[in-house]
């Protein structure tokens, strides 16, 4: 189901980008006459900023968090976690990002390039591959690295409310949401959903209404 909804998101974004590119000059990227190469870089960065912003909203707004915590409830973070999202979150993300991308006036080449980047880097930084601190430190100067992102999946709320970046790591440094933490003592998941039933597909889909499904004390 998630793959179908995500496919619709990609199709909508590409369709919007094509329409904007062919039929209108609306969008922030048309306001300044800059070289094509510079425009391309800036638009890709702004798209990533939009994704960072929607990610923050899914942590800060209680209703959106109820959907997003399905992603965080995984007790064993690996590359598969990158695809573990509640359909409700995929829908709200698609809605918010489509509006923002339309406002930017993104083109088809921008959309294709960004989707390639995010679908390559997101499984990578969710992966459980072993990587040295030296290499990881070098990587996170530019992109989100595994050691950086694992902190975001800590079961401690004050820790997983950090390191929101998806492709480029700069947003966490710029907006002071970066947190460095020793990965060796990390435990993953969401404390309010410790039971194993929330790890199965029906439980993942029922996550937004978990409080109503728990037995009364």
pLDDT at residue 172 greater than cutoff 90: yes
Average pLDDT, the chain: 87
Q: Determine the pLDDT at residue 9.
A: 66
Q: Determine the pLDDT at residue 34.
A: 80
**Model pTM above 0.85:** yes
Q: Where are the domains of the chain?
A: 2-24+33-207
Confidence tier at 105 by pLDDT (50, 70, 90):
confident
Residue range 80-92: average pLDDT? 89
Interacting residues of 186 by C-beta distance below 8 A, sequence separation 6+: 150, 151, 153, 154
pLDDT-above-90 percentage for the chain: 49
Q: Determine the pLDDT at residue 95.
A: 84
Structure token pair of residue 155: 């079961």
Residue range 169-183: average pLDDT? 95
Tokens 């976690």 map to which residue? 81
pLDDT at residue 209 greater than cutoff 80: yes
How many degrees, rounded to 5, is the angle at CA 22 between CA 18 and CA 25?
Answer: 105
Confidence tier at 107 by pLDDT (50, 70, 90):
confident
Interacting residues of 40 by C-beta distance below 8 A, sequence separation 6+: 109, 110, 113
Residue range 45-69: average pLDDT? 95
Question: Do 67 and 204 touch, CB atoms closer than 8 A?
Answer: no
Tokens 């950090």 map to which residue? 162
Confidence tier at 6 by pLDDT (50, 70, 90):
low
pLDDT at residue 215 greater than cutoff 70: no
Q: Determine the pLDDT at residue 83.
A: 87
Question: Do 8 and 94 touch, CB atoms closer than 8 A?
Answer: yes
Confidence tier at 49 by pLDDT (50, 70, 90):
very high
Q: Which of 114, 117, 106 is nearest to 144 (CA)?
A: 117
What is the residue-wise DSSP string for the chain? Answer: -HHHHHHHHHHHHHHHHHHHHHH---SGGGSS---HHHHHHHHHHHHHHHHHHHHHHHHHSHHHHHHHHHHHT-SS-SGGGGG---HHHHHHHHHHHHHHHHHHT--HHHHHHHHHHHHHHHHHHH------HHHHHHHTTTB--HHHHHGGGBSSHHHHTS---SSBTHHHHHTT------GGG--BS-TT--SGGGGSHHHHHHGGGHHHHSPP-
Residue range 199-215: average pLDDT? 82
Q: Determine the pLDDT at residue 3.
A: 56
Q: Determine the pLDDT at residue 214.
A: 63
């Amino acid at each position: 189901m998630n793959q179908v909804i995500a496919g619709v998101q990609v199709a909508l974004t590409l369709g919007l980008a094509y329409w904007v590119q062919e039929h209108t000059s609306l969008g922030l990227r048309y306001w300044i006459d800059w070289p094509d190469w510079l425009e391309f870089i800036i638009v890709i960065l702004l798209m990533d900023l939009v994704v960072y912003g929607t990610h923050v909203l899914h942590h800060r707004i209680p209703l959106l968090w109820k959907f997003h915590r399905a992603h965080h409830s995984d007790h064993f973070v690996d590359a598969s976690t990158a695809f573990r999202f509640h359909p409700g979150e995929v829908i709200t993300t698609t809605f918010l990002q489509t509006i923002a991308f339309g406002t930017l006036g993104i083109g088809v080449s921008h959309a294709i390039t960004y989707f390639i980047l995010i679908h390559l880097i997101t499984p990578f930084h969710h992966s459980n591959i072993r990587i040295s601190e030296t290499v990881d430190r070098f990587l996170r100067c530019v992109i989100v690295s595994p050691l950086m992102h694992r902190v975001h999946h800590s079961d401690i709320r004050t820790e997983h409310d950090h390191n929101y970046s998806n492709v480029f790591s700069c947003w966490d440094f710029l907006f002071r949401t970066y947190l460095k933490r020793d990965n060796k003592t990390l435990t993953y998941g969401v404390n309010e959903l410790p039971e194993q039933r929330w790890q199965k597909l029906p439980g993942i889909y029922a996550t937004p209404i978990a409080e109503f499904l728990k037995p009364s004390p």
